Structure 1
């Protein structure tokens, strides 16, 4: 694990611990998205150039659109937190990874974002991504959990919702 990934994970652990204290009486499994990512998240730090170029500040839509437009079985939709050398702080983000765990980010495609990339997140099964999008009418899964009665934060993710290549069952 690179030092950038270690720092990102440590930052998320601190934030998750603070949220646990604030929401000590939360009646579910995860008091925050950070806690879920700390527990289930996989670190990715190999970013490759891609021809997929999306709109700035539309990471969930960009990753979803690429996933649906190019239904290659070797692309996986991820959500979590990411940063790179010039970034001031970690950002909640969505991206894709290929079967080798290489980051394909249609939103952060400028050259600076390739310097010390650090992404920690969960890789979802394509079918789950589609189901949530249809149910909510919104791009994004974890931060839009409120539109599904906080189902993920209350109960967690089912093993079949996660990509087994990165999250063994």
Structure 2
């Protein structure tokens, strides 16, 4: 695992530990998105550059949802990412192809990127975007009384091509 990925995961672990303490009264298995993503997420370090589709700056969820609709062999991801000019991890959306290579229409011309997150099933993405009336999945969890943080990802939410049942819910140490 690369140094940039180790730094990203370390950042997520520190923030997750803080959330566990700060949100101790929140009756949920995962106290924040960082904890949820550490439990279910996978690393993505290979990236297609330049991205084959342009996106609007600061519109990662919209850019990726629209890219998903245009390309049947791309998969929608959310989690946390960073790049060499960013001293912290941001919640972010990106796409991956069937080889697991990142396609990021939002962060163009960014070197030293690292992504850690989950790959969603296409059907779940469409249903959730329609129900929430917003593009983000993790950031719309509050609209449904936090089922993702309370219980984790249910069957049919994560893409089995990238997430085997044996890995789900396992903390990455």
TM-score range, shorter chain: over 0.9
RMSD: 1.0
Within 2, Cα distance between the matches of 1:104 and 1:143?
21
Q: Which residue of 2 aligns with 1:120?
A: 116
Give the aligned length.
Answer: 164
Given candidates 139, 142, 160, the residue that maps to 1:146 is: 142
Is 2:61 the counterpart of 1:60?
yes
Conserved? CA contact 1:45–1:116, under 8 Å: no
TM-score normalised over the length of structure 1: 0.93
Unaligned runs of at least 5 residues, structure 1: none
Q: Which residue of 2 aligns with 1:9?
A: 9
Secondary structure of the residue aligned to 2:7 is helix
Within 2, Cα distance between the matches of 1:23 and 1:83?
25
Secondary structure of the residue aligned to 1:24 is coil
Conserved? CA contact 1:45–1:117, under 8 Å: yes
Conserved? CA contact 1:37–1:80, under 8 Å: yes
Unaligned runs of at least 5 residues, structure 2: 166-173
Q: Which residue of 2 aligns with 1:160?
A: 156
Structure 1 runs (4+) deviating above 2 angstroms are none
TM-score normalised over the length of structure 2: 0.91
Within 2, Cα distance between the matches of 1:30 and 1:134?
25
